Amino acid sequence: MAFGLASQRGDRAWREAMLTRLEGESASRRLARAVALSWGSQGQWERASELYKADLSAAPVTLQPLLRYWLNELEGRRARAGRLNAAESAQAQSELAAPRWKRKMPTWRRSSRR
């Protein structure tokens, strides 16, 4: 639990140092990397999810509920980020597809047209 909190509070440099220290293929090291990666950049979240899913069953039974909770929280963040990206992409596409005269006018220009 303490490592999870430290991962959440740690900065990029701390996370990189931990990932270097946690190299190896044992389930415990892979799960520790998953915890560190899950609080890293959005680009690291997929790798964290893969590690959690691959090794969660190898964790001690007493830690599995906590690790599952962290995995679910991570998957929730990934889903929200995916929805946000899709909405932003759709918004950008609709603005590009609209005829020039229908595009949103900046608010500073709208007020001067009254």
Q: What is the pLDDT of residues 57-77, one digit of tens each?
A: 999 999 999 999 999 999 999
Amino acid occupying residue 54: A
Residue 55 CB contacts under 8 Å (≥ 6 apart), including other chains: 27, 30, 31, 34
pLDDT score for 103: 60
Cβ atoms of 70 and 39 closer than 8 Å: no
Cβ atoms of 53 and 39 closer than 8 Å: no
Stretches where the chain sits below pLDDT 70 are 98-114
Distance CA 83, CA 113 (A): 35
Query: Quick one: what percent of the chain has pLDDT higher than 90?
Result: 61
